[in-house]
Structure 1
Amino acid sequence: MTQTRFTVLDETQRHPDLAEQIDRILHRVAPTVKEISDLPLPEEVRFRLLTPKAWRDEARKSHHRTLARDIADLELTSQEIDAVRAGLRIMGFVPVLVWPVVLGSTLAAADGRRETIIAPRALHHGGLLVDEPALHQMVAHELVHQVQADGRSGAVWTTFFPQKRGITGRGASAVLEGHADWADHQVTTRLFGAPADHRQSPKSWRYRTHDALPGIRRLGPSRAAYEQGSRLITRAVAAGGTDLVNQVWKDAVFLPTEEEIADPDAWVRRIERGYLGA
């Protein structure tokens, strides 16, 4: 069995204690994440602590890497490519607006591996530095995202052209965030006796100001993606266990439709039919 290598890099050179704390949390939550998800851990799990500026730069680079991968993999017209590039130029300001309210972000790195980028100042603004259960929740949540990516075995869900990749954008978001939300609640309940909720952590004035900006929550996964997705996963696990849920990582055809997001039982029945070969 391959041993997972955990790497936590303090690229700010100002938060060695936080890097050590996150490393300890990773080692603490990883066995539970593996057990409850019934998915293997990646060979390497990488977390990077960045300054806000470096975090914003990495977020922008990630968008451009997504487009480059789409261009390499898909048959796109010049008009389609130009439209996305124009959108990226227009949306270049987004990381400036969102960084104080993003506690962690897992993305494809320049070397092709998954990594989680964190701005420690965002953890300060979000109240996680004084809320141990919530910090565990965030680390577990982002670790699950790395596990999900590894479980997809190269299938690409992060794309500007979901239909060309045979996925539904909303369905992918609901499954990714709902599964991670469900898992982090399971992990923190085991560790602390009740599910942690980072939304209850004490927020700074800057966090509250950015969080109140009109439309700010439309710039990332919606609250509905977490809440509806968590209900979706909870229902599927109750009906058929993690084996049923984990079919979605093997084949994107099992991603929920708009109708199935609102009707988890219909989604469960469809996966069961495919899983059992009916």
Structure 2
Amino acid sequence: MTQIKVLNNSGRKLNGFAKNIELLADQIAPLVEDISRLKLPDTVVIRLMTPQAWRRARSRHDMRRMMAEASKLKPSTDSMRTATLTAKAARIDRRKTWAAVGGEFVDFTNGAEIVILPAALQEMGLLGSNESHSMVLAHELAHGAQHHVDAGMTWAQMKTHFPRERGTCDRSYGFLLEGHAHWVAHAITARLHGQSTTVKPGEGATSRHQSIHDSAEQQGYRRFHDRALQCVSKVIEDNGVEQFNRVWNAPELVPLVSESSNTEDWPQRLADELAK
């Protein structure tokens, strides 16, 4: 049975919130394994962080990952320049949009863990919403199961700074990983609450969060995730979970970038491939 370890780095006032997160995660973790047919690691760390600490940790982690990849892959000067600019853009984006990040799975160098930002949940008007907390935890725990099934290989392909050198420019690993995590989370919240839950601004959402939520970038992000969810749901409905799970060990089954623009192409290709 997976042990849940919650670390509260957001202040003593949130000790009660941390305990509630631990109780919910204890309830949700076995459901993730049951629904996804994937195992979680023996221990899952959930860390409550302030936005500032999270941004600093993510920036340090991204830089370490980029340098480690560069040492291994020997990228071209152009690829290195692109990676550096992409990392800088990501730092700026996290500074602008942290208030929309309730939780995130991060494969830090010292071990993968789930980060929860209570301040962001407060901005979203969801700090007291157990249903929303269930959705966030189910989604991020699903990412933990994805990461564990192949020792982080698929995750590394999505997070790579050098897709050209890895030969993955034509693949949309994010479409696979996010669509699957949404599918797991929707199934779990439907089981727990009688209907699937969607994380959306609560009544007490701040104008800062609402502005981020309503931005064209975030709307495009949600459409991408909606398509990914529809595709994963279709593949599993038609082929079953066990057949779908072949994708974790078969890179050729990962959706193409071109297939992420609609909800028909990838499910049809997988149906053909899985029937072989």
> When the two structures are superposed, what TM-score results if normalisation uses the length of structure 1?
0.88
Paired residues for 1:189-204 under 5 Å:
189-202=190-203, 203-204=205-206
**Cα distance in 2 for residues equivalent to 1:257 and 1:80:** 21
Alignment deviations for residues 213-271 of structure 1 (CA, whole Å, 9 cap, x no partner): 564x39xx821331010001100011111112211211222111244335555434433
SS of the residue corresponding to residue 237 of structure 1 reads: helix
**Cα distance in 2 for residues equivalent to 1:8 and 1:169:** 38
**Structure 1: unaligned runs, 5 residues or longer:** none
**Cα distance in 2 for residues equivalent to 1:90 and 1:30:** 34
RMSD: 2.3
Name the counterpart of 1:56.
Answer: 55
SS of the residue corresponding to residue 47 of structure 1 reads: strand
Equivalent residue for 1:134, pick from 129, 132, 135: 132
**Cα distance in 1 for residues equivalent to 2:20 and 2:73:** 41
Distance 1:35 1:168, change over 3 A: farther
SS of the residue corresponding to residue 9 of structure 1 reads: strand
Distance 1:87 1:184, change over 3 A: closer
**Cα distance in 2 for residues equivalent to 1:28 and 1:20:** 13
| Amino acid in the other structure paired with 1:180 | A
Name the counterpart of 2:211.
Answer: 209
Which range moves more in the overlay, 36-45 or 205-214?
205-214
Alignment deviations for residues 7-32 of structure 1 (CA, whole Å, 9 cap, x no partner): 11001233111111111111111111
Name the counterpart of 2:179.
Answer: 178
| Amino acid in the other structure paired with 1:133 | E
Shift of 1:150: 1.1
**Cα distance in 2 for residues equivalent to 1:272 and 1:109:** 35
Distance 1:122 1:154, change over 3 A: closer
Alignment deviations for residues 67-110 of structure 1 (CA, whole Å, 9 cap, x no partner): 12321332312342233224434553222111111111111112
Distance 1:120 1:33, change over 3 A: same
Q: Does 2:120 match 1:118?
A: no
Shift of 1:175: 1.1
**Cα distance in 1 for residues equivalent to 2:268 and 2:89:** 42
Alignment deviations for residues 153-178 of structure 1 (CA, whole Å, 9 cap, x no partner): 34122112224324357621111111
Paired residues for 1:251-270 under 5 Å:
251-262=250-261, 264=263, 266-270=265-269
**Cα distance in 2 for residues equivalent to 1:46 and 1:58:** 15
**Cα distance in 2 for residues equivalent to 1:121 and 1:205:** 14
| Amino acid in the other structure paired with 1:146 | G
Distance 1:91 1:177, change over 3 A: closer
User: Share of identical aligned residues, percent?
Assistant: 25
**Cα distance in 1 for residues equivalent to 2:264 and 2:207:** 41
**Cα distance in 1 for residues equivalent to 2:267 and 2:93:** 36
Distance 1:229 1:213, change over 3 A: closer
Q: After TM superposition, where is structure 1 displaced by more than 6 Å over at least 4 residues in a row? A: none
**Structure 2: unaligned runs, 5 residues or longer:** none
Distance 1:88 1:128, change over 3 A: same
